[in-house]
């Protein structure tokens, strides 16, 4: 498992005592408007202190807090509510160099607990990948709290496929809108369906930079943060573009190489997927279909016509919860009785490779 560094350095000149530094306009605004978890995450990032250093300094002040708790506080999974946690939060404000009470005042009333609390309308990201223990495990180590606060306006995937029918690369163009202040990232997951091929490379090209990336080479899964150029305000949109590329041999290893699927946890207003085949070697057949979150197909597959340039596309409007999928049947040479290669086709593959 490879865990590259994030973009935020973990070393800086420490702040001690009550030395409150000059805050950036973005952090100053978040400390006024919240929400708590986003403001805390921005304060930690601005302090350039790792969670380990923060934990050490809080322990030295007699208010110990676990790294897990700090992680939960900044991701929005939990927040300080017990008396000892609130005391530690006051010390944390001083450690981070923000004004006294700046974070505490953002807490508001305690969240409801027990049966009366509101149930989420969509599964969590980890639940969406409950059929893939590797993907769910990687997601549990990333901050996915922003995902439920992004409206999916449009999604455009362009999949390039070589003459052998193997996937070479994927270009993604995505437009999202923030439903609250402070949303700062998109988390993407790519699954090679356990084909035994190393996970692909993810390259951010517009509107975002690559943050923390986690890979499981044995199972061919990669999960990555795409960090927006700045924290979004409520109603603000972000246009991000990134590319996923495979090794020199493309995505190879199983019959499942000829299926592409994108999962949606929340509805997307418009989803467009393009397939660019080698015009000299178009597939024998190509079709789109939809599937439930568990991978079982819905309805009847729809054939996709391929133009003379070897291109085709499919579109879905207001789609989700579920998966929108395409699959193709590559043409393969087969020996003729006289020894001259002919053409034969393989049956369509099962639902396999998945992205969100």
Q: What pLDDT, on the 0 to 100 scale, is given for residue 333?
A: 52
Residues 96 and 162 occupy one common structural domain:
no
Whole-number Å distance between alpha carbons of 46 and 27: 8
The answer to whether the CB of 195 falls within 8 A of the CB of 257 is: yes
Same domain, 84 and 176: no
Q: What is the pLDDT of residue 145?
A: 84
The residue among 20 and 175 whose pLDDT is bigger is: 175
Q: Is 132 exposed, middle or buried (0-12, 13-18, 19+ CB in 10 A)?
A: buried
Residue 6 lies in a domain: no
- pLDDT of residue 253 exceeding 80, the answer is no
Decide if 205 is inside a domain.
yes
Residue 298 CA to residue 355 CA, distance in Å, equals: 18
Question: Smallest Cα–Cα separation from 1: which of 181, 251, 221, 288?
Answer: 221
Is the pLDDT at 309 greater than 90? The verdict is yes
Least confident of 83-87, 144-148, 212-216, 245-249: 245-249
Task: Tell whether 80 and 135 lie within a shared domain.
Answer: no
Q: Indicate whether 347 pLDDT > 60.
A: no
**Cβ contact 113:123 at 8 Å:** no
In angstroms, the CA 199 to CA 136 distance is 15
What's the whole-number mean pLDDT along residues 15-20? Answer: 45
CATH code for the domain of 80: 1.10.260
Does residue 137 share a domain with residue 243? yes
- The answer to which of 7-16, 89-98, 157-166, 332-341 has the lowest mean pLDDT is 7-16
Q: How many CB atoms lie within 10 A of CB 11?
A: 9
Output 255 or 52, whichever has higher pLDDT: 52
Evaluate if residue 164 carries a pLDDT over 80: yes
Q: State pLDDT tens for residues 181-212.
A: 889 999 988 877 655 666 678 889 899 999 98
Assess whether pLDDT exceeds 90 at residue 29.
no
Spatial separation of the C-alpha atoms in residues 330 and 281, rounded to whole Å: 8
How much is the mean pLDDT over the chain? Answer: 79
Residue-range definition of the domain harbouring residue 55: 25-106
Residue 7: pLDDT band (50, 70, 90) is very low
239-266 mean pLDDT = 76
Q: How much is the pLDDT for 265?
A: 87
- Phi/psi of residue 33, each to 5°? -105, -25
Specify if 7 maps to a domain.
no
- Residues 134-142, mean pLDDT to the nearest whole number: 81
What b/e readout covers 71-108, taking b as 16+ CB neighbours within 10 angstroms? ebbbbbeebbeeeebeebbebbbbbbbbeeebbeebbe
Count up the domains in the chain and report the number. 2
Least confident range of 49-58, 130-139, 166-175, 291-300: 130-139
Q: Helix (H, G, I), strand (E, B), or coil: what is residue 302?
A: strand
- Coil, helix or strand at residue 153: strand
Q: Is residue 57 located within the same domain as residue 138?
A: no
Mark which of 76, 106, 136 sits at the end of a domain.
106
Indicate if 166 and 270 belong to the same structural domain: yes
* Pairing between β-strand 311-319 and β-strand 322-329 as defined by DSSP bridges: unpaired
- Taking Cα atoms as reference points, which of 52, 56, 243 lies closest to residue 158? 243
pLDDT tens profile 76-109: 778 888 888 888 999 999 999 999 888 988 886 6
Order the strands of the 183-191 sheet from edge to edge. Answer: 208-216, 221-232, 183-191, 354-355, 259-264, 322-329, 285-291, 297-303
* Cβ atoms of residues 152 and 172 within 8 Å: no
pTM to 2 decimal places: 0.61
% residues pLDDT > 90 (the chain)? 30
**Contacts of residue 93, Cβ cutoff 8 Å, sequence gap at least 6:** 99, 100, 101, 102, 103, 104
Same domain, 98 and 134: no
| 133 occurs within a structural domain | yes
Mean pLDDT of 328-346: 53
Check whether residue 75 and residue 178 sit in a common domain: no
* Together in a domain, 97 and 138: no
Q: What is the pLDDT of residue 239?
A: 95
DSSP letter for each residue of 33-92:
H--HHHHHHHHHHHHT--HHHHHHHHHHTT----HHHHHHHHHTS----SHHHHHHHHHH
- What is the pLDDT averaged over residues 165-189? 90
């Amino acid at each position: 498992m490879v865990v590259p560094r994030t973009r935020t350095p973990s070393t800086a000149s420490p702040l001690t005592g009550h030395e409150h530094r000059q805050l950036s306009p973005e952090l100053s605004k978040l400390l006024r408007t919240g929400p708590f978890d986003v403001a805390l995450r921005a304060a930690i990032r601005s302090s350039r202190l790792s969670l380990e250093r923060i934990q050490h300094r809080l322990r030295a002040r007699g208010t110990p807090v676990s790294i897990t708790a700090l992680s939960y506080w900044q991701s929005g999974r939990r927040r300080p509510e017990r008396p000892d946690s609130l005391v530690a939060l006051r010390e944390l404000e001083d450690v981070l160099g923000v004004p006294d009470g700046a974070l505490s005042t953002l807490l508001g009333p305690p969240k409801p607990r027990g049966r009366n609390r509101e149930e989420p309308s969509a599964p969590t990201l980890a639940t969406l990948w409950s059929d893939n223990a590797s993907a769910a495990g990687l997601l549990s180590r990333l901050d996915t709290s922003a995902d439920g606060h992004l409206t999916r306006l449009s999604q455009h995937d362009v999949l390039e496929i070589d003459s052998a029918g193997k996937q070479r690369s994927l270009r993604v163009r995505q437009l999202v809108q923030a439903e609250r202040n402070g949303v700062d990232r998109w988390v993407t997951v790519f699954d090679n369906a356990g084909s035994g091929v190393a996970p692909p490379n993810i390259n951010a090209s517009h509107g975002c930079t690559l943050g923390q990336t986690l890979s499981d080479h044995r199972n061919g899964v990669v999960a990555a943060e795409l960090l927006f150029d700045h924290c979004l305000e409520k109603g603000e949109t972000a246009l991000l573009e990134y590319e996923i590329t495979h090794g020199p041999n493309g995505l190879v290893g199983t019959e499942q190489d000829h299926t592409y699927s994108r999962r949606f946890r929340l509805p997307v207003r418009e989803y467009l997927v393009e397939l660019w085949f080698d015009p000299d070697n178009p597939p024998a057949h190509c079709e789109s279909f939809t599937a439930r979150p568990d991978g079982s197909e819905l309805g009847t597959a729809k054939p996709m016509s391929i133009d003379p340039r070897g291109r085709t596309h499919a579109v879905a409007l207001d789609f989700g919860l579920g998966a929108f999928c395409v699959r193709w049947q590559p043409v393969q040479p087969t020996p003729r009785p006289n020894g001259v290669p002919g053409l034969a086709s393989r049956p369509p593959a099962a639902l396999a490779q998945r992205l969100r």
